[in-house]
Structure 1
């Protein structure tokens, strides 16, 4: 593996391991994040079948894994961050979920080392934006998915109108950073790594003909994203108005491809099916 990729994953591990200490507190105190999780679960619930076996990528501290387990599913939770994995192990023990949630510390690029078949592959809140080529992940999925299995990924796209408003403050580089095909430096907990943004067409093109795109949905198209929660608190009227626009626009083309994040769901059928 090239040195730059080793450094990328090392820095990602260190950054999110540091963040794991206060991750849950930050998440549960952010009203926008909580609302987005509800929307993501509502989206997934349209496709997931009872008692599904889920492979979760970038599982973090297990917020989503625990929710799915409580809904009757089994989850194999993966993450590269040692700190996140430790938090997840502690929570599984506390909630007595050792029979329904298993754990593996692994990067996206190495999911070919995951054993078994799954009904669903789930990745939330832009974890996959840490990789420079989504095909490094998608190439392994046919051997991991059962026939008729689903994929739902929540990814940061290129078009984010909210970020364009930074241009009014003279922050042109930040406003249009998502269009840099070489990625953008992200700074988290004193660590630096590269974040890559993908258009909906790029995401779709990373899957071969065995995968059918079913639905895309935008999150934070015009409304404040979780990072702007203080704006939302200060200007509640404006934020509520923008949220109403988002709820209507999020499922309509082209807005369902825009936002701070997009929810993308595909279905898998092998060529021999």
Structure 2
């Protein structure tokens, strides 16, 4: 991975983590993730960003190794850390197979599109190699951006920006992350299943942000709390509908080591 996200580190919590949309989407991830945390003790988080999810997991007494390619993201995360069971470390996903001393875990977790920075070849290699870092029946819990996001298509078509409306269908798109241009690859649940099927069984896939809008619409919804709460209500009504995963802003997919 070439993108370091260092530029985004100082503003990420402001532009996403602490926004109303960011909180709603993250809470939905936590609801769906919590069903798979039974009998889990040790968790490796990749693409941990500023550590918000790692801290949430540490508060529940899981042992967390939170990693990211961005040194500045890790620095921000360390300033928040008050937990003996949480460790931050600088690590590129593609270098995990080379880290012989990283250990094994009951779960590997990645939130909000971190794996969308990997090419198809890199992602397939990740699935084939990460089994070495998972205990027996270990799980992958991955939040990924799909190709067919209804919100994005509707928004950009409404603005007459037709090329942007279907940008996720391109082989590679450029996403602007707080001023940093990041090559991004979008994967529907079926793509992930096909890439991971040699080493993993799928347990479930659920939408994250079918009704809740993408975070770049925060300025529009900032003063429309009633509307946002209504959309959140609708989101919770359909959060178990697997078929909507490829049409949401993100989806969570849970895989189990064979």
For normalisation by structure 2, the TM-score amounts to 0.90
- Asked if residue 229 in structure 1 is aligned to residue 214 in structure 2, the reply is no
**Alignment match of 1:170 (pick from 143, 152, 160):** 160
* Structure 1 residues 247 and 100: CA distance shift in structure 2, 3 A: same
CA distance in 2, matches of 1:261, 1:254: 13
Indicate the RMSD between aligned Cα atoms, in angstroms. Answer: 1.9
Alignment CA distance shift 1:90-1:137 (3 Å): same
Q: CA offsets per residue over residues 139-174 of structure 1, 9 Å max, x none?
A: 211111001211110010011000111112211111
1:59 paired to 2:48: yes
Secondary structure of 1:125's aligned partner: coil
- In structure 2, the residue matched to 1:180 is 170
* Secondary structure in 2 matching 1:139: helix
TM-score for both structures, normalised by structure 1: 0.86
Q: Does 1:104 align with 2:93?
A: no
For residue 106 of structure 2, what is the aligned residue in structure 1? Answer: 119
Report matched runs for 1:15-164 at 5 Å.
16-50=5-39, 52-92=41-81, 95=82, 97=83, 99-114=84-99, 115-133=102-120, 134-164=123-153
Structure (1 or 2) with the larger CA radius of gyration: 1
Q: Return 5+ residue gaps in structure 2 as ranges.
A: none
| Structure 1 unaligned residues grouped into runs of 5+ | 1-7
- Runs of 4+ aligned structure 1 residues displaced above 4 Å come to 234-238
- CA deviations 1:80-138 (Å, max 9, x no partner) are 0010111122222xx1x2x3122321211111134211000000011111111211311
The 2-side partners of 1:75 and 1:88 are apart by 13
Is the Cα–Cα contact under 8 Å of residues 56 and 76 in structure 1 kept in the other structure? yes
CA distance in 1, matches of 2:14, 2:224: 23
Task: Pick from 184, 189, 208 the counterpart of residue 197 of structure 2.
Answer: 208
